[in-house]
Structure 1
Amino acid sequence: MTAPVLLLLTHDATGAVVSVDQVDPAKPHVSVADLSATRGDGIFESVGIVGGRAQALEPHLERFARSARMLDLPAPDLDVWRSAILRAADLADEPETELLAKVIFTRGVEGTGVPTGWVHVFASPSYRAAREGGIRVVTLDRGYRSDVADTSPWLLQGAKTLSYAINMAALREAARRGADDVVFVSTDGIVLEGPNSNVIALIDGVYVTTPVELGVLKGTTQGAFFADVEARGAKVEYRSMTLAELQGASAVWLSSSGRQIAAVTELDGVPMAQDPAITPVELAALLAR
């Protein structure tokens, strides 16, 4: 089994990285006063590493920088973070094992103004069952209108923050309902995203996903999915879609960096239409990136 790798990125008061050091992942390194622990005040990315390759690294870094801007964090030096991710992946040195790199950037210890950062690479959980057998999904009301990103930007919709209590609560609710995952729906009936995934639906022959303007995360795996199907002549569209459209879609998938894609086999207890030909083809394409 792959031994985890942990790199600490030490910053100064300006937010600049002054060193990148490999440390023992089994020992404590983050202060209990760090705002990531006390307030969830920070951002992260999860980068899949398959065959020794960091997947969609540039889109991940772009989203990382966007999240930092939204939280008024110092601008991360993407060259340094890129180098740290690639170094950690090389140190893991398990090309036959799927890995995940957790990339964390926080506001640091309260009152110091000095950020905290690290890259943690470890063996990915097995997603074989979801990839091959699909997932059961429930829809949950997110409690916001679909225009909340414009009307209330301080709610940080569309930023990938460490404040994940609501997302974890939603997944526990899904489990209570006998499902595997969640699709959030706005109070005005628009399909948004999952707690850690984007929604892709095949509607009238077009692959559709919710646009970032509605406060969802810009999907790195979803973007790769769209690029691949477009290259093979399919049509894609970023637009709002209603729950009724999702329920009537020819097929639906959830996409994420670890699981890649998983077909939705059941939505709110109702069996969903499937496209058994496309899922294995796209999964193979995504894993080969």
Structure 2
Amino acid sequence: MAWRFALTIDPAAPGDPRGSFAETFTVIDPAAPALSVGELSTQRGDGIFESIGVVDGHPQEVAAHLERLVHSARICDLPEPHVGQWREAVAAAAAACGPGESVVKLILSRGVEHGPAPTAWVTAAPAADFAAVRERGVRVVTLDRGYALDVPARAPWLLLGAKTLSYAVNMAALREAKRRGADDAIFTTSDGFVLEAPTASLILRRGDTFVTPAPHGGILRGTTQVSLFAHLEEQGFATAYATIAVSDLATVDAAWLVSSVRLAAPITAVDGVALPMDAAFTAAINEYLLSPRD
């Protein structure tokens, strides 16, 4: 059986000056029951999460993931995570990881309905093997996300831009992509602009400039995308955030889906139209993404 590791984060006592959570966590048996039947994360998906890639025991981009966890908590009106405590929990989980690639997941739920405190836990497990996907690439289809580009600004209650546990639509999109003979999907707005993939950010290349969709469309800010942009800028490339029309996808020099665990997967086709793939450049990108990154 593959190894697993889990711990729970204990709520702070009322009035605790250190924030919403005390500086304590408890290691638990990952195979044992841990959640109440009243837990809102399982009943309603009422919570947030982060997935942190771990390479040979080193958790990648921890600060960026914790910053996004705090951002998601604010959007969802959840108690603000105590960053120091979560950082210690991530370190404990990463220390339990074996060699190679693993994934540490952070979950914060509203807890039991009408309960006194939220529920929080961290798990670690071996990551799936994405070596072949990074090398051969993925075929994608575009799928309408069902809202116009200006909706996130007009309807903040939709929680667009937060990394919530409500991933049913994302998983349905991946199933639809496979039904259409593709490997993954790119969400688009109903008025014809590019957003993101169900579980990844999108990066496009035009000459020596790398572009990703601007976050004002309710896009989740990608920790891997931000790190990769910083690396590309150090290499002398230009980077940009832009509003991208769906029709522009077929005209780029290269494109990738990037995420914390899969890393960079080159896109080989969009809606059946082939895209160029630079295998050597992709390998160099993934070499950077597999290096220790704080």
TM-score (norm 2): 0.95
- Aligned residue for 1:7? 7
Q: Distance in 1 between matches of 2:53 and 2:201?
A: 16
Query: Within the alignment, does 1:258 sit opposite 2:261 as a pair?
Result: yes
- Aligned residue for 1:88? 93
Q: Distance in 2 between matches of 1:210 and 1:91?
A: 36
Q: Distance in 2 between matches of 1:250 and 1:205?
A: 10
Structure 1 residue ranges without an equivalent (≥5): none
- Aligned residue for 1:61? 66
Q: 1:87-131: CA deviations, max 9, x gaps?
A: 111123x1x220000100000000113100000000001111110
Q: 1:145-179: CA deviations, max 9, x gaps?
A: 11222111110110000000000100000111111
Q: Distance in 1 between matches of 2:66 and 2:21?
A: 16
- Aligned residue for 1:121? 124
Question: Which of these residues, 15, 29, 45, is aligned with residue 24 of structure 1?
Answer: 29
Structure 2 residue ranges without an equivalent (≥5): 15-19
- Aligned residue for 2:57? 52
Question: Which of these residues, 273, 277, 283, is aligned with residue 280 of structure 2?
Answer: 277
Question: Which of these residues, 252, 257, 260, is aligned with residue 249 of structure 1?
Answer: 252
How many percent of aligned residue pairs carry the same amino acid? 45
* Maintained 8 Å contact 1:45/1:102: yes
- Deviation of the 1:275 alpha carbon: 2.2
* Maintained 8 Å contact 2:25/2:89: yes
- What is the root-mean-square deviation of aligned Cα atoms in Å? 1.3
Q: Distance in 2 between matches of 1:144 and 1:109?
A: 32
Query: Within the alignment, does 1:144 sit opposite 2:150 as a pair?
Result: no
- The amino acid of 1:182's aligned partner reads A
Query: Within the alignment, does 1:225 sit opposite 2:202 as a pair?
Result: no
Query: Within the alignment, does 1:35 sit opposite 2:73 as a pair?
Result: no
* Distance 1:75-1:246 versus aligned 2 partners, 3 A rule: same
- The amino acid of 1:75's aligned partner reads E
Pairs within 5 Å for 1:96-245: 96-245=99-248
- Deviation of the 1:12 alpha carbon: 4.1
Q: Distance in 2 between matches of 1:203 and 1:33?
A: 50
* Maintained 8 Å contact 2:135/2:279: no
* Maintained 8 Å contact 2:186/2:195: yes
Q: Which runs of 4+ in 1 moved over 4 A?
A: none
* Maintained 8 Å contact 2:249/2:270: no
